[in-house]
Chains A and B, each alone.
Chain A
Amino acid sequence: MNFKSWAPLGAVALAIASMTGAHAADKSVAVTAIVEHPALDAVRDGVQAALKAEGFEAGKNLKWQYQSAQGNTGTAAQIARKFVGDKPDAIVAIATPSAQAVVASTKNVPVVFSAVTDPVVAKLVPSWEASKTNVTGVSDLLALDKQMDLVKQVVPNAKRVGMVYNPGEANSVVVVKELQKLLPTLGMTLVEAAAPRSVDVSSAARSLIGKVDVIYTSTDNNVVSAYEALVKVGQDAKIPLVASDTDSVKRGAVAAYGINYRDLGEQTGRMVARILKGEAPGAIKPEVSTKMELFVNPGAAEKQGTKLTEALVKSAAQVVQ
């Protein structure tokens, strides 16, 4: 039996030798996201910008590190372990799988989650009150009744609302379950279409043709990445599209009353700054994103068979041509 194992042992030695020096005076923040994605990247950039505004600048008096789990939960777990071992002053975990991996790894290091729709269902915090644990954060939960208000303004006689979503994404499932409860009270019904992969978005949308008056989508990763496919169906079948994020309006949705993820990041960053300045995370109530914007696209409305009222267009923060 021969041990031909110098390379792996060498790599292990290399890893152990890569002990980074500790700078006692500087604060350190470790950030992780489950995957790279425009919205999640915007959150990260917002966190960094807000920290800078509060006096913590990466490279000067703040040690900043970022790791993406490349979509793999095993890697997310290893990143969580690594971060906890580095003993930063705060860990920022973006999106539910990363947040869960971090929260499961430590009960001491302060954890700030971001872009998690329902942190209570995800068991990151026991309730929406200050948790008294080491966890707090900012949720991107949308007030669904306001979302449905917008839907009715875009398509006044809408009775059947279609929803394309990834049944494998926690945030989307939360929205679907809420809509299933909310819509009947408004005299409407929800028709679901599942798209487990982004390539399934097109066929899911097509399955809704003839069964819905409008298609509403959340900030589902699959849908957002394949939004053009949805737009094509909307135009071909004359079904108006209402989105939850403002970028999608530029890509062809009729309207969206959404969160700006960069702002969400900045809101998160301000919370992190409070922790760096000494507040306990358990004393900070989890927040919901506060800044909402209405975007409309009259051109898309026409192509999809509806017309926007003047009042709606006037109230929009941005009108996309």
Chain B
Amino acid sequence: MLSAQNLELTFNPGTPIETRALRGLSLEIPDGQFVTVIGSNGAGKSTFLNAVSGDQSVDKGSIHIADEDMTRRPVWDRAHRVARVFQDPMAGTCEDLSIEENMALAHCRGTSRGLSLAVKNEHRALYRERLATLGLGLENRLTDRIGLLSGGQRQAVSLLMAALQPSRILLLDEHTAALDPRTADFVLQLTARIVNESKLTTMMVTHSMRQALDVGERTVMLHQGQVVLDVSGEERSKMDVTDLLHMFEKVRGEKLADDALLLG
């Protein structure tokens, strides 16, 4: 499904603030797999996600999604294969538009937009049905402006929007980081359920080692723009945070010093 080969990306090359964000990163994600990606600040996880989504273009390397070469394509031209939920709930929805209009926007993702009505009656039933599964009462508020919803509610709707079209890969960019613990939990449960139901290939970037191990079937750790750890299957299901830490220290020969990563 996703095939990233030898990605290299340097910010501000040749200047005093030059940052080599990706240094030959390669990752293959087969269809239907749920991968969590962790790493300390500056490890390159957000950069990698942005490279896959198209928000950032890489200097070297290639990105293939569902066998299509996406390396040079802009964000909107990849959208038929990529669905994304942003960290900032405000960034992932259009606050001026209503709930049903936002969903209609996501529903058209990947199709050519014509002059038929955006929010079709036959689709309304679908939107209501999906919103009802959230248990938040949103199915009765289809015409409300989405800006009236709380951050957690908007993230929940964003997840539904991401699952509306059979896109190939779902990118989750620390999507619970801006929420309070209870809401974060709710959204995480929702994520697991939706991914499972629609068998979506998913790549979830998270800042929390615990979250990374609790959800999904494979965990990848990035450090200094490369993949340094890749655990899945039985080995992974037996691990907890301290095990992960020791593994990291063995591989890199240095202690991990990021508090948020350890304690989160």
Q: Are chains A and B touching in the complex at the 8 Å CB cutoff?
A: no
B residues near A, CB below 8 A?
A: none
